[in-house]
Every structure is written in structure tokens, then in C-alpha cells.
Amino acid sequence: MPDDDLPFDVAGCLQRVRQRDQAAARELVDHLYPLVIRIVRSHLPRRVPEEDLAQEIFLKMFTRLEQYQGAVPFPHWVSRIAVTTCIDHLRAQKRRPEFRMADLSETEADVLSNVMTNENEVPANDAMAAHELVHKLLDQLKPDDQLVIRLLDLEQKTIAEISAQTGWNQSLIKVRAFRARRKLQKLFQELQKKERS
């Protein structure tokens, strides 16, 4: 078991993993699990258990380990694998369910109605409903666009941080953010029309 006081020696661990040391592989998984599971939880496709997805990501990591040249920090390299795996699963689901007011819970519908009709902050006790609502709205976007908006608006990451995490260039991220915001804007306009009528 690695000592928690010492910084984790990624390079040394990778060297041992390459020599087929199973204990080192176990240590690497334990060390990277929090990073991977956070990515999985924030981009988890519907109906896919998080542990299965995490396992798939780690197996991909071990399979591609020989390709890692050290150009980026190892956690960044793993987070790219995690992000692309989540996106692949989201793409595989293909059809995004249409956003319908009828599918919202009573609290979610109230929160949505309130933010559409006034400019007040969402009350703290409705934060969970707002959280669910945001995810349902994001489900309307393409997987790549969802990811960019989640990272920008929910995790408040910078374009440079998103680029490091996904491996996409900054222009592409800006284009995806622009496209996603336009789609969300259109969705809100439709919802406002419904609200008025």
C-alpha cells in the first residue's frame, strides 16, 4: 500500500507496470480512480453503470500504455481517454430524448417556470432540482457540445484547461461552445413561448 504522505511516483509506477508488475498496476488504478470517476460521473451516459465505464477506461489505459510518450502529464493523458470513452458511449445512445415539460418533476417544472418569468436567483433549497434540470437541458445537445458546456458552465474550467483535458484545440472548443449556446438559446426561446402561451 503506498504511503499517503509521499507524492505518488507516476513515472516509477509506469516503469514497473511496463515490466508487468501487477502490484504497480493496482497502485496506478487506485491513484487514478478519483480522477477517472469524477469525469465518468459528470459525463455519465444514461443506463451505463459508472463502475463498468471506469473499468473500460482503465483497460484502455493499460492497452495503450506503450503509446504514452510523456508529452503531456500522465493524468491528462488518462483524462483524455476517459472523456473520449464517455463521448463514445453518449454517441452510441444516438437518439436524445426530446425535452418535454411533462417529463419534469413538479419541483423542476416550478424552478424552470420561475427562472423563465422572473430574474430572481434560484432558492438554495431548489438547487438539486436546478441541477437535474440543467442536466436534462444538456441532454438535448450533441455529446461533444454537452461536454464543452458542462466543463465551461458547471465546472467553470477555462478553454486552456478543457483543451488539456480533452486534447481538442482551443478554436474547436470555442466553436463547439458557440454552437451549443446557440442551441440552448433556441431551446429557451421555445420554452419562453410555451410559458407565455
Partner 1 sequence: MNLNDPRHPWARLTAAARTVQDDRDTAAPYGFATRVSALAMADKRGVSSLFERFALRALAVACLLTVGTVATNYSVVSSFFSNRDEAMSVPNSGGEDPVAELIDVASNVTID
Tracing cell 458542462 back to the chain, one arrives at 150
Question: Taking CB under 8 A as the rule, does residue 119 contact partner 1?
Answer: yes
By CB under 8 A, is residue 137 in contact with partner 1?
yes
Select the span of 87-95, 96-104, 113-121, 164-172 touching partner 1 (CB under 8 A). 113-121
Residue 190 amino acid letter: E
Nearest to 179 by CA among 155, 149, 136, 158: 149
Q: Looking at residues 19 to 78 of the shown chain, list those that interact with partner 1 (rule: CB under 8 A).
A: 20, 22, 25-30, 33-34, 37-38, 41, 51, 54-55, 58-59, 62-63
**Cβ-based nearer residue to partner 1, 94 or 156:** 156
Q: Closest CB to partner 1 among 55 and 91?
A: 55
Q: Are residues 81 and 59 in contact, defined by beta-carbon separation less than 8 angstroms?
A: no
Which residue's C-alpha cell is 454552437? Answer: 179
147 in Cβ contact with 43 (< 8 Å): yes
Q: Do 95 and 87 meet the contact criterion of CB atoms below 8 Å apart?
A: no
Q: Report how far residue 13's alpha carbon sits from residue 24's, in angstroms, rounded to the nearest whole number.
A: 6
Nearer to partner 1, 31 or 80 (CB): 31
| Distance in angstroms (rounded) separating the CA atoms of residues 179 and 171 | 12
Q: Which one, 92 or 128, has the nearer CB to partner 1? A: 128
Chain CA centroid to CA 106, Å: 27
State yes or no: residue 116 binds partner 1 (CB under 8 A).
Answer: yes
Q: How far is the CB of 85 from partner 1 (least distance, A)?
A: 14
Contact 36, 58 (CB under 8 A): yes
User: Given candidates 6, 71, 102, 124, which one binds partner 1 under the rule CB under 8 A?
Assistant: 124
> What does the binding site for partner 1 look like in residue numbers (CB under 8 A)?
20, 22, 25-30, 33-34, 37-38, 41, 51, 54-55, 58-59, 62-63, 111-112, 115-116, 119-122, 124, 126-128, 130-131, 133-134, 137, 153-154, 156, 181, 184-185, 188
